[in-house]
Amino acid sequence: MVFDTPFLAGHGARALWVACKGVTKRRSDPQEKREPSRHYLSVSALSAFLAESIDDAGLFPPAQLSMIDALAAHERYEASPEYWMIGRFIAPAARAGELMQRLESAPHPLSTSFVLDGVESLAHLAVTRDAPSVLALEAFECRFASLPGATPDERLRALFEAAHAAGFSRDLPAYVELDARDTEGLAPALAALARMRERGYEACAKLRCGGLTADAAPAPGVVAAFLWEANRLRVPFKATAGLHHPVRGFNEEAGFPMHGFLNVIGGAVLACARGLDRTTLERLVADENAASFRLEAERFAWSGIGADAAEVGQARAQFVHAFGSCSFEEPIADLYALGILEPQALRPQPNLR
């Protein structure tokens, strides 16, 4: 099995590099690109599944930390034994200037993705060019509905043309949040993203899996339809919101069911590795039995359907890049509680170079 290089996207490729090499993500050159190691066949499925999987969205609800507190928390995460699981720091584009002020004396570049309110928000990111030694702009994100245009292609062209006009390369990944509940509009939007990728843009999708109210969480069938269609069209994605816990279940504090990241990320892995149909994907996404899921050194599996370490790594590099969470501690605590993480498993693998 080899990587399909044209389909390889930055976040997933770097995550696999981290999992394979077992080294810190901090880079002296913020523009340096990671290439997947030839040793990816040796990395464990657990490492490949979880490496840089959790984007830090502590600035956003429900946590909604101050900039000072969010950066302090991110620094703690990077110094923790689980550092290899933390991904990008997510910030609103409108707060780029505030973030840059707080990073004036940062010892290394902060891997960052900015969330736009619309194409006009790209103007806020001009300040990030002033100090590449403290901030590495690795992606931006926006809602599809916020883009101007009458058709999906027009909306995406407006986004990438505005990004180009603002001085950003077409290699900078853009995660476009689609409304998965729009059953008629989802497939055309994903198809438009696929066409932009064919033109050389790093166009990716973003799937919102929850929020502060029950109606913000798409039904399992809706998530399954998204996974199936995105995989069919070879459009990489990240997930966000409502994925604080590994396995789907009723959340007493929220008062409604919440999706699990083993369900959603695992569904993406098996869609990519095993070509699961929509019906099977829906059963996987809806499964609330933790015993159905296994994430070990050798493979990830759900109800006997599995993917080995190389297949998990390939799915992470090519298809499912990360999920945003305003909490890093909750997913980690639950992984310990389920016995998926153990002290020795937290240490980088030393002999893969």
Tens digits of residue pLDDT in 288-341: 999 999 999 999 999 999 999 999 999 999 999 999 999 999 999 999 999 999
Mean pLDDT (whole number) for 155-162: 97
Mean pLDDT (whole number) for 173-195: 94
| Domain edges within the chain | 5-341
pLDDT at residue 164 above 80? yes
Query: Which residue has better confidence, 16 or 338?
Result: 338
Determine which of 7-16, 145-154, 299-308, 316-325 has the lowest per-residue pLDDT on average: 7-16
pLDDT at residue 238 above 50? yes
Band (79; pLDDT cuts 50, 70, 90): very high
Band (13; pLDDT cuts 50, 70, 90): low
230 with 269: CB under 8 angstroms?
no
Band (3; pLDDT cuts 50, 70, 90): very low
* The predicted structure's pLDDT at residue 43: 80
pTM: 0.87
Of 3.20.20, 3.30.2320, 3.60.70, 3.40.1350, which CATH number belongs to 5-341?
3.20.20
pLDDT at residue 7 above 50? no
* The predicted structure's pLDDT at residue 344: 53
Query: Which residue has better confidence, 215 or 170?
Result: 170
* The predicted structure's pLDDT at residue 105: 75
Determine which of 13-17, 160-164, 170-174, 292-296 has the lowest per-residue pLDDT on average: 13-17
Mean pLDDT (whole number) for 49-63: 96
* The predicted structure's pLDDT at residue 216: 80
Band (14; pLDDT cuts 50, 70, 90): low
* The predicted structure's pLDDT at residue 302: 98
pLDDT at residue 5 above 80? no
Rg of the chain over all Cα atoms, to the nearest angstrom: 19
pLDDT at residue 30 above 60? no
98 with 68: CB under 8 angstroms?
no
Cα–Cα distance for residue pair 276/45, rounded to 1 Å: 19
- In angstroms, what CA-CA distances link 271 with 4, 136, 217, 240, 280? 16, 31, 21, 19, 10
Highest mean pLDDT among 5-9, 100-104, 292-296: 292-296
* Cis peptide, bond prior to residue 107, ω within 30 of zero: no
Cα–Cα distance for residue pair 62/64, rounded to 1 Å: 6
* The predicted structure's pLDDT at residue 351: 36
Mean pLDDT (whole number) for 166-189: 93
Mean pLDDT (whole number) for 148-154: 97
Token look-up 């930390």 returns 65
Residues 6+ apart with CB under 8 A from 181: 218, 222
243 with 261: CB under 8 angstroms?
yes
* The predicted structure's pLDDT at residue 310: 96
Q: For 326, phi and psi rounded to 5 degrees?
A: -80, -5
- In angstroms, what CA-CA distances link 308 with 145, 168, 277, 318? 37, 37, 19, 15
pLDDT at residue 38 above 60? no
Band (33; pLDDT cuts 50, 70, 90): very low
Cα–Cα distance for residue pair 301/308, rounded to 1 Å: 9
Token look-up 């959603």 returns 264
322 with 55: CB under 8 angstroms?
yes
* The predicted structure's pLDDT at residue 1: 25
* The predicted structure's pLDDT at residue 11: 57
Cα–Cα distance for residue pair 159/139, rounded to 1 Å: 13
1 with 311: CB under 8 angstroms?
yes
